Amino acid sequence: MKITRRLSILSLFLVLGFPKASLPCTTFTLDEGDLHVFGKNYDWMVQDGLIVINKRAMAKTAIRRNDVGRPAAWVSKYGSVTFNQFGREFPQGGMNEVGLVVETMALPGGKFPEPDSRTFVNRLQWRQYQLDNFSSVEEVIASDSQIRIAPATSKASFGSHFLVSDQKGDCAVIEFIDGKMVVHRRETMPVSTLTNNTYEESVRCWQTKSPPSNDPNQSLSRFIRTADMVSRYKPDPSKSLVDYAFDVLTIAEKDSRARTQTMWSIVYDQKNLRIYFRTAANREIRTFSLEEFDFSCTTPVKVLDLNGNQTGEVTKHFSDYTQETNQSFISNGFRKTPYFRNIPNAVLDEYSLYPEGTHCTH
């Protein structure tokens, strides 16, 4: 079987709508003067994860799938740090070296665009594409004229929506509904919070304090609780903005009766280019600064196991990336997810080789 065919098979799984058990994630932003932080709870059934230091000046071509049109091709302008469960280059979210953060939530009923003249990427690689190329929310929104997210081929309608924020404090919710980009920003964004219903529905429930009785995974209830904490934040000399963000993430964590739990909690300090995180496996808050890493593509890519037993500052614990490491995390991510266990080993092996097809342009 040719590599491109194998990649197409696995790409199909990546763009399939994730099952209902994947839905309970939460994101938000907080501001204090020129300090902006971004919080994310990643709720899922698998805790394995890899932090990846992605390099600038890397030439890439989007992974191919059974799609009509041309895959996007680009050279990364910025380095970034991403949190990955399904392999390098296909992150759950992250922050780049100029403070742009891109994070995602599952959105039942969302629908990505049908094939057209634009080049395409899948939903996971869309996040890396944005971090590679842009410094502002304005640029991310404008990119929709040039690139599209490949539509899911599953009959189940589970899309994604995104919370995007830049170092200047600009923030936007980006949704794909009926194949069109819908943006909430500034005047149409009364609170910078996102869970797993459309932003419009979520804000309506928050403003009326009336979540419906049928609230799968407490998406609307979580939105109300989180939005309340975000909207009533006031500076407190006894508590930093980062600490308050972790308080919000704690409140947003799902109850233990659900099928998934909060595996990762992440806070991005966009001004100071510092990331804080804790995991279900290690509740200690760990941290590192993007300024400590060399984003030149002439030096080795660095990675860190999210679930290591380190504490405090973890920069020195990053190690050189290997294809074997990528393969191991890809295998764990899929094999431990009940819905993905039957993907052939040969497909996962070839998928783990995708980064080897990128190259440094310097």
Residue 183 CB coordination number (10 Å): 17
CB 270 within 8 A of CB 36: yes
- What mean pLDDT do residues 273-277 have? 98
Q: Is 29 in a helix, a strand, or coil?
A: strand
Query: Which pLDDT does position 255 carry in this prediction?
Result: 55
Rg (CA), the chain: 19
pLDDT one-digit tens code per residue, 229-247: 999 999 999 999 999 999 9
Residue 300 has pLDDT above 90, yes or no: yes
Kindly report whether the global pTM for this prediction surpasses the value 0.75.
yes
Backbone torsions φ then ψ of 303, nearest 5 degrees = -140, 160
Only one residue has tokens 């080795």, namely 300
Mind listing the domains of the chain with CATH numbers?
Answer: 3-16+43-186+264-360 (3.60.60.10)
pLDDT one-digit tens code per residue, 136-172: 999 999 999 999 998 755 444 468 999 999 999 999 9
pLDDT one-digit tens code per residue, 18-35: 444 456 899 999 999 999
Counts for the chain of helices (H) and strands (E), in that order? 8, 21
Task: In whole angstroms, give the CA distance from residue 189 to residue 235.
Answer: 22
Structure tokens at 122: 């899948």
pLDDT one-digit tens code per residue, 38-51: 999 999 989 999 99
- What mean pLDDT do residues 304-332 have? 96
Nearest to 278 by CA among 312, 318, 228: 312
CB 194 within 8 A of CB 141: no
Name the E strands within 170-281: 171-177, 180-185, 193-194, 261-269, 274-279
Q: Using pLDDT thresholds of 50, 70 and 90, give the confidence band for residue 350.
A: confident
Q: Using pLDDT thresholds of 50, 70 and 90, give the confidence band for residue 121.
A: very high
